[in-house]
Amino acid sequence: MTDTEACIALNMVPGMGPVRLRTLLETFETPQRILAAGAAALRAAKGVGKETADSIAAWESHVDLTAELKRIADFSAKVITMNSPEYPTALRTIHNPPVVLYVWGDLRPADAHAIGVVGSRNVTHYGTETAKKISYQIAFAGYAIVSGLARGIDTAAHQGALAAKGRTIAVLGSGLSQLYPPENHSLAEKIAASGAVVSEYPMERPADRQTFPYRNRIVAGWGRGLLVVEAGLNSGALITANQAVEQGRTVFAVPGQIDRPTSAGTNRLIQQGARLVTSADDILDELGTLIPRGASLSPSEKGPQAGSTDPSSRPALSHDETLLVTALQVGDMSIDELSAATRLPLGKISGTLLGLEMKRLIRALPGHRYERV
């Protein structure tokens, strides 16, 4: 039995969790030795009660490891542990890192450059569009978007990252074969094709009220920061924000109207010290890096800096985008001035300017004026 197979078996034992397993490994050193230990030796280990010790000692009577390995293979998934090189570096530093991660898709070293995005399931049009736009911009800049595949903000965040042809990671509160919510199965397939869907739970574990809050620590701890887009005062997103703070991550929040319950939680976070976000620039500037899509990541976690003269680091531009960027070389301009300078129709300019903003090549100024970054 390999280390990974032993960890899968232990992860399926009732009462076992990441903190308890880490305690057992301090005593027994390997997962195989834990499974081979007798009940008396397990009970003597620190932090392991009689019930859990007895469950581990009799693990073969209630854990069908062969069937689980077949389910993993049939799903075209794989399992990684903390000893695997693909295991997310940031998760190793949280209080209770997952024992195993079931992975549908592929994880990459660049996924360490990530931002978590969370929010309410019951969202407004403002929340949905904001989550999509900011996630698009962050993903285009080279960061992976990590969220929970839930309805509402999570769904919008994944969609925004996919639209930017960027990386996105979905962290489930269920096993891979019990994907929830079921209507997001096609979205999960798209995520797995270009990113990854992950879970710490056995393949057939259904979602419940305990699994969702528990999985949120992974969303909170995976990236360099956590963005809360829209959340009420009792939203689970606020619990995730607290977990991010405890794990030393920067919390960002999008403000909302003061008379909307869906904005009460995010506005409260800002009062408590979360970074106020009005665009992806606020997040990327706080992190101090700009990583254009396609640029290679350096060991220092920094890509080409804003204003880089390296042509290979610049996003490809359409003919209309090139005209607008060139016109803005002389200074900031209004849409009317840009139309006169480029002879492009006003309707076409508005859409092209939005694309340039998302590529972080220009920024909007008060009075509907624009300037180059």
Q: What is the CATH number of domain 316-372?
A: 1.10.10.10
Query: Rounded to an integer, what distance in angstroms lies between the CA atom of residue 58 and that of residue 158?
Result: 41
Cα radius of gyration (the chain): 23
Strand partners, 317: none
pTM of the predicted protein model: 0.75
Report the pLDDT value the prediction gives residue 315, as an integer from 0 to 100.
57
Q: Name the least confident of 68-82, 129-143, 313-327.
A: 313-327
Per-residue b/e over 160-196, b at no fewer than 16 CB within 10 Å? bbbebebbbbbbbbbbbbbbbeeebeebbeebbeebb
The ranges of the chain annotated as CATH 1.10.10.10 are 316-372
Q: Hey, how many other C-beta atoms are within 10 angstroms of the C-beta on 258?
A: 8
Report the pLDDT value the prediction gives residue 112, as an integer from 0 to 100.
87
User: Phi-psi bin for 172: left (phi > 0), alpha (psi -120 to 50), beta?
Assistant: beta
H or E stretch at 55 = helix 50-57
User: Looking at residues 276-300, what average pLDDT do you find?
Assistant: 63
Query: Rounded to an integer, what distance in angstroms lies between the CA atom of residue 24 and that of residue 31?
Result: 8
User: Looking at residues 162-175, what average pLDDT do you find?
Assistant: 94
pLDDT tens per residue across span 325-373: 999 988 889 988 999 999 998 878 877 886 787 677 888 777 778 888 8
| Residue 317: Cβ-neighbour burial (10 angstroms; 0-12, 13-18, 19+) | middle
The ranges of the chain annotated as CATH 3.40.50.450 are 103-287
Share of the chain above pLDDT 90, in %: 41
Please determine, for residue 96, whether its predicted confidence score (pLDDT) is greater than 90: no
The listed range with the strongest mean pLDDT (42-56, 221-235, 287-301, 351-365) is: 221-235
Specify whether the CB–CB gap between 348 and 356 falls below 8 A. Answer: no
Domain 103-287 - what CATH class? alpha beta
Query: Rounded to an integer, what distance in angstroms lies between the CA atom of residue 7 and that of residue 74?
Result: 19
